[in-house]
Amino acid sequence: MFKRIITVFAAILSISSITAQAKDSPESMRKLAEAVNQELWNNHDISAIDRYFAKDYIQHSAGADGSEGLKAFATSFFKKFPEFKVESKRIIVENDILVNFSVTRINPQDIGQTCFDMLRVKNGKFVEHWDSCQDIPKERLNKNLPW
């Protein structure tokens, strides 16, 4: 009987581990980034934060920590920039880290900014974030696109 309980317990742990790994697979992480870009940043759906960010989400840029802090920031940001959009140019995944290289625009006339967002993923949610953005110059010394 004891062996059977141990076997069942081991099977449950194994299934839990496989489920967590599936949530954090490279393809799942890529889909997570795409969903956040579309639902939160392009559709301005604040409820996406509950679906895709951990409650104790850590923000390394000037924004507030936690999912509630992100909600407050996004609500204020979208009121100020109601036409804001993001377009991913490249998503790279390695281990539990995802890097999203994108172009953001506050309105259709805006040349935009290029941004690198680095996010740590755990159990299918973003748990930590770093970023760096720069304005896309109107005049360039070369013909290379910034992405």
Position 72 scores a pLDDT of 95
pLDDT > 70: percent of the chain = 85
Phi, psi of 59 (to 5 degrees): -110, 120
3-state secondary structure 29-84: HHHHHHHHHHHHHHCCCCCHHHHHEEEEEEECCCCCCHHHHHHHHHHHHHHHCCCC
Position 118 scores a pLDDT of 97
**Tokens standing for residue 142:** 């070369």
Instruction: Assign domain 25-135 to its CATH architecture.
Output: Roll (3.10)
In sequence order, the 6+-apart residues with CB closer than 8 A to the CB of 27 are: none
Q: Tell me: the pLDDT tens digits for 48-101?
A: 999 999 999 999 987 788 999 999 999 999 999 999 999 999 999 999 999 999
Position 136 scores a pLDDT of 93
In sequence order, the 6+-apart residues with CB closer than 8 A to the CB of 130 are: 60, 61, 117, 118, 119
Q: Tell me: the pLDDT tens digits for 101-138?
A: 999 999 999 999 999 999 999 999 999 999 999 999 98
Q: Is the pLDDT of residue 17 over 60?
A: no
Q: Is the pLDDT of residue 6 over 90?
A: no
Position 3 scores a pLDDT of 54
- Full-model pTM: 0.81
